[in-house]
Structure 1
Amino acid sequence: MRFSVYQESHIGGRKVNQDRMGYSFTRDAILLLLADGMGGHIMGEMAAAIAMQTVGSLFQQQAQPTIARPERFLEDSFLAAHQEIHRYRTMNNLPETPRTTIVACIIQHGHAYWAHCGDSRLYWIRQGQILLRTKDHSRLETLIAQGKVDPSARHTHPDRNKLFNCLGAPNSPIVELSRRAALQPGDLILLCSDGLWSTLPDHLVAQRLQEHTIVRAIPELIRTAVSIAGKNGDNTTALAMMWEGDDRLDESSVITTNTLPIGSITTTIQAPIDPEVMGEQGEQDVFNDAEIEKAIAEIRNAIHKSSKLTGKF
């Protein structure tokens, strides 16, 4: 496989960043993953972290080097994450269960498969055009589908943040699965939290990603969204992958997995949390942004050096 990937998050105007993002890949499969801990409930950042770690760990266990049944894996891993969040509540005797939205994508054999719960989105973009995007599991989207609200009200309607589906709720989540999508060189897969899409129109996001590489476009989009949202803005997070790339890419940003040993896994998803470290209320922010960026840089450098040594790119 040959692809470019970039991720970034900004705390916005909030005291805690409840968004989590990460990716893992073997020689023949990629997992892109983003979770947005829900405000209005306790410890949303913990729910997001548990979801990330559960799905990421299952991918690392089962990608040998591909996932046998991607759709089944996405559904099962989401349900497992939901159960782990409830288990965390029981272990820590919390008054309610933390909750999170989630979106994930698996790419292998030139095809993409994705699933989501809530309003964290995935966009499939080709040559500046949005081919598909996930539909939010919100009261507003239901009203739009019923013809009771005009689509132009998506950014202003009072019910736009009312969700009916997530991980951690009393009822089991509804995991919405995509159809299999055949990727072409230059195709983009974008995962983002509502801090991005609720502020920037879809056409602008697609345009920026068409005009610039993801390494430049994602930071610009996040800065723009944070600036527009102002001091009360939400956490803003995006993770993007360009498949196979094109002439615009800087070769140093391209990952080629052909040189990876069979059985190896590369990941930016953090290791499982030690409950003893978190304490009863789990108030510590489990991720250090500087450490994450350092890990990403080390991964890219190692792959780039390996590619140069073998003469393949």
Structure 2
Amino acid sequence: MRFSVYQESHIGGRKTNQDRMGYSFTRDALLLLVADGMGGHLMGEMAAQIAMQTIASLFQESAKSYVKKPERFLEDSFLAAHREIHRYRAINNLPETPRTTIVACLVQHNSAIWAHCGDSRLYWMRNGQILARTRDHSRIETLIAQGKVDPSERDTHPDRNKLFNCLGAPNMPIVELSRRATLQAGDVLLLCSDGLWSMLPDHELAHRLHHNTIVRAVPELLAAATGIAGRNSDNATALAMMWESAENLQGNSTITTNTLPIGSVTTTIQAPRHVDSEPTDTYNDAEIEKAIEEIRNAIEKSSKITSRN
């Protein structure tokens, strides 16, 4: 594999940064992650950190040197992260469970597949055009899909910040999976928190990432988003990857994995937690089957909705 990757996070106008980002890769697989701890709940940054560490740890166990069943891996690792967050609450006797949104992308064999819970987004771009992006698990997107609200109200509707899906909630998360996307040289994958995308229109994200290297575009986008938001700016985080573009691979952002030893893993994510990849007694078989059915229904519904460019 050959790719360019760059990540950056701004605290904005908040006292703490509850966003987390990172990537891990082997010789034949690359995992990209962004998590946004939910500030309306206790210790959102801890939920984001636990999710990152859990998923990265399971990636290290599964990628030998690629993940055999990527869809199953993403679904299982999200559910494992959800359980780890609940375990953290129980061990520390917290009054409520921390919560986080999450978006992850697995790249291998020249294709990408991604999953998300909440409103942290992934954009797939080519030649300045957005080929696909995740659909937010929010109240406003549900109302738009039902035809009750016009899409033009996305940025002003009073329910625009209400989410119905995340890790750490009392109910099992719905893990929405994409179809496999075949990458071409120069394609860009952008993972980001709502502190970025809520301030800048999609076409501006695509334009800047097309006309600049990701090393330059990402900092400019984050500065623009936090500048527009001003003193009340949310945390803003972006992780961008450009695929196999020799013309644009420059400096320390360039990674070529062909010389890596088989079995080795490189990561920017902090030391992984010990995780139990098997379900605990918290959920019985019936609950797990119900969750899987909800996931399938969500995927079927999302496939009928046209994403905004």
Which TM-score band applies after superposition, normalised by the shorter structure? 0.7 to 0.9
Distance 1:94 1:107 in 2: 36
Matched, 1:118 2:106: no
Cα 1:20–1:251, aligned 2, differ >3 Å: closer, same or farther? closer
Q: Displacement of 1:155 after TM fit?
A: 1.4
Distance 2:24 2:252 in 1: 19
**What is aligned with 1:79?**
79
Deviations 1:8-60 (A, max 9, x none): 00000000100000000000000000100001100000000000000000001
**What is aligned with 2:206?**
206
Task: For 1:1-313, list aligned pairs within 5 A.
Answer: 1-250=1-250, 252-272=252-272
Deviations 1:256-295 (A, max 9, x none): 1001111111000111469xxxxxxxxxxxxxxxxxxxxx
Secondary structure in 1 matching 2:15: coil
Deviations 1:230-274 (A, max 9, x none): 111100000000010142332553211001111111000111469
Amino acid of the residue matched to residue 4 of structure 1?
A: S
Amino acid of the residue matched to residue 241 of structure 1?
A: M
Identical counterparts, % of pairs: 77
Structure 2: gaps of 5 or more residues = 275-309
Distance 2:154 2:221 in 1: 19
Amino acid of the residue matched to residue 89 of structure 1?
A: R
Q: Normalized against structure 1, the TM-score is what?
A: 0.86
Deviations 1:180-239 (A, max 9, x none): 100000001000000000000000000000000000000000000010011111000000
Cα 1:36–1:252, aligned 2, differ >3 Å: closer, same or farther? closer
Amino acid of the residue matched to residue 66 of structure 1?
A: Y
Distance 1:105 1:273 in 2: 20
Secondary structure in 2 matching 1:52: helix
Amino acid of the residue matched to residue 258 of structure 2?
A: N
Amino acid of the residue matched to residue 244 of structure 1?
A: E
Distance 1:257 1:160 in 2: 41
Work out whether residues 155 and 199 of structure 1, in 8 Å CA contact, stay in contact via their aligned partners in 2: no
Distance 1:153 1:115 in 2: 26
Deviations 1:111-144 (A, max 9, x none): 1010000000000000000000000000000011
Farther off after superposition, 178-187 or 241-250: 241-250
Q: Normalized against structure 2, the TM-score is what?
A: 0.87
Structure 1: gaps of 5 or more residues = 275-313
Secondary structure in 2 matching 1:249: coil
Work out whether residues 57 and 273 of structure 2, in 8 Å CA contact, stay in contact via their aligned partners in 1: no
Distance 1:272 1:177 in 2: 24
Cα 1:252–1:50, aligned 2, differ >3 Å: closer, same or farther? closer
Write out the 4+ residue segments of structure 1 that deviate beyond 3 Å after TM superposition.
none
Secondary structure in 1 matching 2:217: helix
Distance 1:141 1:246 in 2: 38
Q: Displacement of 1:151 after TM fit?
A: 1.2
Amino acid of the residue matched to residue 5 of structure 1?
A: V
Aligned residues: 274
Distance 1:118 1:245 in 2: 31
Work out whether residues 188 and 240 of structure 1, in 8 Å CA contact, stay in contact via their aligned partners in 2: yes
Amino acid of the residue matched to residue 93 of structure 2?
A: N
Q: Displacement of 1:158 after TM fit?
A: 1.1
